[in-house]
Homo-oligomer: A and B are copies of this chain.
Amino acid sequence: MSETDPPVIGDAFGAALARCWASGARPGAAFEIVERDDGYIGVTDMARYFGGRDSWPDLERAALTDVRGRILDVGCGAGRHAVPLRQDGHEVVGLDSSPLAVAITLERGAPAVSGTAQAVPAGIGRFDTILMLGGNLGLLADPETAVVTLTELARITAPGGQLLGTGMDPYRTEDPAHLAYHDRNRARGRPAGQLRMRVRHGRLATPWFDYLLAAADELTDLITSTPWTLNSIEEHGAGYALKLDLAAPTPAAVRPGPETS
Contacts and interface: CB of A to CB of B under 8 A. Distances in A.
A201 to B, nearest CB: 7
A113 B203 CA distance: 35
Contact of A2 (B37, B39, B177): B37
Nearest to A210: B1
Contacts of A83: none
A41 B202 contact: yes
Interface string A17-58: 000000000011001010001111111010000000000000
Interface centre among A43, A45, A190 (most CB of B within 10 A): A43
Given A39-B5, A39-B8, A203-B38, A28 B31 contact: no
19 contacts: A2-B37, A2-B190, A3-B37, A4-B37, A4-B196, A7-B40, A8-B39, A31-B31, A31-B43, A38-B203, A39-B203, A39-B205, A40-B202, A40-B203, A41-B201, A41-B203, A42-B202, A43-B43, A177-B203
A7 B41 CA distance: 9
Interface centre among A2, A7, A190 (most CB of B within 10 A): A2
Contacts of A3: 37
Contacts of A256: none
Contacts of A41: 7, 33, 200-203
A23 B31 CA distance: 19
A41 B27 CA distance: 19
In this complex, the interface size class of chain A, counting residues with CB under 8 Å from chain B, is 20 to 34
Interface in A187-208: 188, 190, 196, 200-203, 205, 208
Nearest to A201: B41
Copies of this chain per assembly: 2
Nearest to A7: B39
A6 interface: yes
Interface in A106-128: none
Given A2-B196, A7-B39, A33-B33, 6 more contacts: A1-B208, A3-B37, A4-B208, A40-B203, A41-B200, A177-B203
